[in-house]
Amino acid sequence: AREQVVATAGDHHVLGRLVRRQAVRLGLNQFDQRLAIADGADWIYHQLPRTIPALDAFILDFYHLSEHIWLASNTCFGLNSQKAASFASELLHRAKHQGVTELLLILASERKALRSPGKRQALQELINYITKRMGQCDYPRYIRQGWQIGSGPTEAMCKVLTYRLKGSGMRWDRQGAEPIMALIALEQSNA
């Protein structure tokens, strides 16, 4: 597996161009598998297919899905309650092993049973979040393929990249930050 790290202080358009250049440089279209794991941010969802159109899968990071499930569960059944924990755990298990279609059916049924408008809204927001990202949530298939479903290594790399910039007493402007991040990215890459 190759690890290619890129970084920029620019916006998502700048990052998109940078990723596209690196994908061409590495010959990404010739790889056996081309996967992306990311949080559910809309800008990533729209940017990635334009940047790397030959992806085999664009995976919603399971941890980010779990954050949304836990938020809705805690809202509906009480913060840190046993019922919230049981409901969230069941939903996550089903998402991972049966897929999100099953999950959506459970959420719709539970939403109908609730009377509180706030609780119904919390579940509807979760349903909307998952529905919008269904194509990124085929966790049973990803697991069968042996693919990662979490972006932990990427999240950790983000901390490594910015540590030098955010350390105690550090002050950087964009002009100074950009080359430091490029050097750290180069050092962390094994491609």
pLDDT in tens, 75-118: 999 999 999 999 999 999 999 999 999 999 999 999 999 999 99
Q: What sign results for the dihedral spanned by CA atoms 166, 170, 174, 175? A: negative
DSSP designation for 79? T
Counting every residue written for the chain, the total comes to: 191
Mean pLDDT rounded to a whole number for the chain:
86
Asked if 47 and 130 count as a contact pair (C-beta separation under 8 A), the reply is: no
Q: What percent of the chain has pLDDT over 70?
A: 92
pLDDT at residue number 191: 53
Grouping H, G, I as helix, E, B as strand and the rest as coil, residue 35 is strand
- Mean pLDDT computed over 129-154: 91
d(CA 58, CA 83): 32
